[in-house]
Structure formats: C-alpha cells, structure tokens
Amino acid sequence: MASHRVGEADSGAPHHHHIPYAIPHMLHHPNNSTFINQEGSAFDFGELEEAIILQGVKINNDDKKQPLYTAIRPAATLDMFPSWPMRFQQHTPRGSSKSGEESTDSGSAVNTLSNTPESPSDHRQPPPPPPQMDAAGGIDSPRLSGSHSQPAAKPAPEKTLRRLAQNREAARKSRLRKKAYVQQLESSRIRLAQLEQDLQRARSQGLFLGGGGAASGSISSGGAIFDMEYSRWLDDDHRHMSELRTALQAHLSDGDLRVIVDGYIAHYDEVFRLKGAAAKSDVFHLITGMWTTPAERCFLWMGGFRPSDLIKMLIPQLDPLTEQQFMGICSLQHSSQQAEEALSQGLEQLQQSLVDTIANGSANDSMHHMAVALGKLANLEGFVRQADNLRQQTLHQLHRLLTIRQAARCFLVIGEYYGRLRALSSLWASRPRESMIADDNSCQTTTDLQMVQSSQNQFSNF
C-alpha cells in the first residue's frame, strides 16, 4: 500500500465521499485475497479497487479531504519531523512524475493517519503473491483509464515493479527513521527532565557539592546551572542584537545609541560574571568547552574565544577607521597576543607540573601525590578567570577606541559572527550522515529536501 503511486486524475471523484468507509470495507473483505490471486477480470478489479483507495487518500485534489487530514495530523513530536511540510507542498504542484516520492508520501501519510490503514496494509503484503499485488498497485492516471477500457491489458512492466519495490523500501526506511527520531526525542525529553530535577536539587543544596555524585553523570550541577544561565544569556544576546540592528538602521542620535551600546557591554560583563561563578564550581566544564557548540569548541582557547583572533576578524569589518584608531586596534591585537601567550605558557607549566606529580606517585605515597595534584588543579580556575578577564578587557578597550557608531557596528558584527558559528554547528549536526535509502533518484531527493528544510529552519532564526 505504501508503495503505490497516487495518480493525479480525478476519475475517481465520485468515489471520494465514501472512501473512508471503503477502505476498511474493502480491506476486511474476506474475498480480497482471492481477488488479487486471480488473473483476468478479477485481477483488474483488484487493481481498480486499489486505485479507488489511493484516490481516496490523495490529499491535494479534494478540498473536503484536506481539513479532515489536517485535523488528524499527528502530535507535536511528530510534527517536528522536517520532511512533512515539504511533502505537503510537494504534493500539490507535482504530477505523477515524481512517482517514487509521492508513493513514499502516501505511504507515510497513510501510516500516520491512524493505525488502521497500516495494519491492513501490512496484512496485505504477506498474502500471495506480491508481484501481482504490485501490478495491481501500479497506478497512475493513464493506466487507470487503461485498465478500465482494456480488461485484458498486460499489467506492470518490470521497471514499474522494481520501482514499486524500491518505493516500498524507501517508505519502510522512512518509517524506521521517523521511529528512531521519535525515540531520540523521547530520550532527550527524559534526560531533560532528569537535568531539571538535578538542578532543583542543586538549587536547594547550594552549588556543586564535590564529586558530582547525585548529578546525572555527564554534567555536574554547577555545569548544568551555568548551561541554563548561558542559554538565557544567548536569548538576551539575540534581543540585544536586534536592538542594535534597528538602532543602527534607524540612525538614532549618538546619545541614544550610546545607551544601547552600554547595555550591550553590560550584557557581556554579565556573561563573564557567570563564567567566573562557573569556574569556581566546575572549571572543567568551562575549560573543555562543554557549554559551547562544537564549532566554537574547535576554536576554544582557555575556556572561551581568543581575543586576538576576534580582533583579527574585526579589523576588515570595521572600515573606515582613522589612522589613530587603526594603530590603536593593531596595538590592542598585539598586546592581546602577548597576554595570551603568557597565559598559555603559564598553563603549560601547570600541566607539566601536574603530569610530573601524577607520574611520580609511588604506591605508598599516592595519597600525598593526589593531594598535591589536587592543589595544582585548583590553579586552573585562576587561568580561566584571567583569560575571561582578558576577553572582557579587550571588549572594553574596543569600546574606548571606537566612535559610538563604530562600536555599535562592531558589537553587531561580533554577535552575528558567533551566531553564525553556532548555526554552523547545528547545520553540521543535522546533516544527513549516510544514505539509508536505495540509490533511487526519487528517494535521494527526499533526503535532500529534508536537509534543505532543516537548514532553512536554522537560518530562519537569523
């Protein structure tokens, strides 16, 4: 059933009204399999009946059907399955040309309508013999009218059979994928509930109690709290950026613009304050970048962005600059590089010292060595704090060097840059990893459409 193509023709129109009833009726008809078994006229009858059914579930041509269909549209979780809207839109303009895709559509459409169509359809597959049934299902408009007028017409050529089989495969795989996705969503929901529970517990007990015992295992309470605050900060960031953008476009006075820019600086000061608190409770969470997206993590330096890289990125975007400004910014880049180098070397020494301590722990002295190692580890917090201090100072200095208008544009550029980096991470994560579908062109198109749809969703945020 899933593999059958849906024809465009309206020839089945008179049957539309009673199709919903026709489906269960026909499928529960005891003689159904007998019909399919037989050749000649009975066989064509089966073909005709299938055509009627498929006309019935076809959505595009029947206005009456549409509201019914959308009314029984599946629940919120399944709604997020990206291919759906595309498929709906796909349906209307295309004819039976993209037959494979449409049959997959109708396949999933039929599946999710209710359980009833699904079980009978499965139930129809085992009954003998599939080739004949495929032939019966090979419908499109010319064929339908063809079968009407020529009862003795030879049914589906092999190409169609193969295509139908592939479509069935595609539909099956599509269903499996959807199931996997839903399962993933469900487990994420459970994990989220657990995290929230841990957060509640952590809140009531105060911050991170060493050892991370009660925590969900992968993330400490301190880390979880920071992640939550950081995501709130990101939402705020988005808001600040829109404010900046509209302020720049509206050509506000310098005074007004200054208020907005000062607000944005305070917003950045806030994140450094949050990071400072997080460094106290879980420095590893910060320094390993588990709070950032993968693309940001790739460029991570000491728990955050590298200021000199940021300035390097900004210089061409800040044109036009006066000579003095340009010198100031280059000097800023230079001093930032020196400071970064110094901190990196300090951290390297810490790592070396830690390695020595751990490597030299003898059996009888291990506790002592562990205690010493713990003491050394505590210094990590200091380095992350200094690195964040460096970042904060760099942003403040930029603010000082630029005019208010330039500063507004500068911060907008910074915000957009990191926004794009985050979007890149999402796109990367949602890219189709392997083709679970056969090499059939039509099926591949479905995957591509899914990717395009999800990428469009990502970009719509920006």
Minimum distance, C-beta of residue 430 to another protein, in the bound complex (Å): 39
Query: SS3 string of the chain?
Result: CCCCCCCCCCCCHHHHHHHHHHHHHHHCCCCHHHHHHCCCHHHHHHHHHHHHHHHHHCCCCCCCHHHHHHHCCCCHHHHCCCHHHHHHHHHCCCCCCCHHHHHHHHHHHHHHHCHHHHHHHHHHCCCCCHHHHHHHHCCCHHHHHHHHHCCCCCCCCHHHHHHHHHHHHHHHHHHHHHHHHHHHHHHHHHHHHHHHHHHHHHHHHCCCCHHHCCCCCCCCHHHHHHHHHHHHHHHHHHHHHHHHHHHHHCCCCHHHHHHHHHHHHHHHHHHHHHHHHHHHHCHHHHHCCCCCCHHHHHCCECCECCHHHHHHHHHHHCCCCCHHHHHHHHHHHHHHHHHHHHHHHHHHHHHHHHHHHHHCCCHHHHHHHHHHHHHHHCHHHHHHHHHHHHHHHHHHHHHHHCCHHHHHHHHHHHHHHHHHHHHHHHHHHHCCCCCCCCCCHHHHHHHHHHHHHHHHHHHHCC
Minimum distance, C-beta of residue 404 to another protein, in the bound complex (Å): 19
Minimum distance, C-beta of residue 334 to another protein, in the bound complex (Å): 10
Minimum distance, C-beta of residue 288 to another protein, in the bound complex (Å): 19
Closer CB to another protein, residue 20 or residue 346? 346
Closer CB to another protein, residue 335 or residue 457? 335
Could you list the residues that contact another protein (CB under 8 A)?
328, 331-332, 335-339, 341-343, 345-347, 349-350, 353, 379, 382-383, 385-386, 389-390, 393-394, 396-397, 400
Minimum distance, C-beta of residue 335 to another protein, in the bound complex (Å): 5
Minimum distance, C-beta of residue 351 to another protein, in the bound complex (Å): 9
Minimum distance, C-beta of residue 322 to another protein, in the bound complex (Å): 16
For 302: left if phi > 0, alpha if psi spans -120 to 50, otherwise beta; the answer is: left
Minimum distance, C-beta of residue 341 to another protein, in the bound complex (Å): 6
Closer CB to another protein, residue 338 or residue 456? 338
Closer CB to another protein, residue 54 or residue 372? 372
Minimum distance, C-beta of residue 312 to another protein, in the bound complex (Å): 15
Closer CB to another protein, residue 27 or residue 414? 414
